[in-house]
Amino acid sequence: MNVLVAMSGGVDSSAAAALLLDQGHEVTGVTLRLWGGTSDSGCCSVGDVEDARQVAAELGVDHHVFNMTDEFEARVVEPYVSAHVRGWTPNPCIECNRHLKFSALLGAADRLGFDRMATGHHARIVASDGGPQLLRGVDQAKDQSYVLSMLTPTQLDRLLLPVGELTKSEVRTLASDRGLRTATKAESQDTCFVSSTIGRRGFLAERTTLRPGVLVERSSGDVVGDVAEVELVTVGQRKGLGLDSEGRRRVAVAVDPVAGTVVVASPEESQIDEVRFDQSSVTSTGAPLLPGEATLVQLRSHGRAMPAVFDEGRVSLLEPTDPVAPGQTVAFYDASTADLVRGSAVVAP
């Protein structure tokens, strides 16, 4: 099979390319040039592109760089800024996956005549009578099915995830045995287009006006403090919001930059028992969830899955949890087969 491997310059995609070669496939590496500005982390830095190129050379495969900076700006960066202006907290990695890596790049792979595309994500794709299914990776600590929960059956059918059956330790051992330069490379953790030198505040300040605001106690309506920049506060945040009358950290439960307010509550009062989502954002990796159907939901990349009941525009949680910010992703997993991804949606206020 002729496979286009998305190589980010990290150890996982390096190992994915090596595994496919070992399985007898014809492999071509590609790295996306996504961000034209300053970057010192994630998969957008110059060093990461060079690492991918060098690994491809070590493996003896062709390597290309696709320039998608315009698409990245329009689909990821601009919505990231706009979301903060609205008081939302977006997940740029998922939006990059949605619009670029598994849309634009997969489309390019099809046009160029590749049989499949592959990435180094820790997740699995298995065949079933109803079509391909997305499952959690074998290494539960490194599982990335959450950030792939927006994939469609058509996309899954064109995709290979070679490292999903391996633990992270096994991936590093494989890369080391092959003498790949990325074998011991640290994982990137930050938003790739936000450099560590300026941070999120500096990045947003360059693109929009950050305004001060006040903290409003939800139960009383009283103003209990202030914040320097409302746009930087995230629903669920505790740090920097002061203490309530009992000495506990306040929790942000709503952010309204237009009004210049952050609504806060005590940890107990901030707990939620449902999550609302934008119905138009719902995607299904297989059979769609039906109203009233039991499911498991994951609200954070490395959060635990919680039992819930799916409905149109919301899921009811069977146990309370910390608030989740609008703009984040709620991923749905099968209630009986907890590893099976059923789809996702974008959280709404």
Strands 159-160 and 116-118: parallel
43 is catalytic: no
| CB-based contacts of 202, cutoff 8 Å, min separation 6 | none
> Identity (one letter) of the amino acid at 27?
V
List 43, 44, 93, 96, catalytic entry = 96
List 43, 44, 93, 192, catalytic entry = 192
The side-by-side arrangement of strands in the sheet containing 62-67 is 62-67, 26-33, 2-6, 116-118, 159-160
With left for phi above 0 and alpha for psi between -120 and 50, is residue 42 left, alpha or beta? left
Contact 158, 132 (CB under 8 A): no
> Tokens in use for 194?
């936000």
96 is catalytic: yes
What b/e string do you get for 209-247 counting C-beta neighbours within 10 Å, with b at 16 or more? ebeebebbbbeeeeebbebebbbbbbbbbbeebeebeee
Task: Identify the bridge partners of residue 66 per DSSP, sorted by sequence position.
Answer: 32
What b/e string do you get for 176-191 counting C-beta neighbours within 10 Å, with b at 16 or more? eebebbbbebeebeeb
Catalytic residues: 96, 192
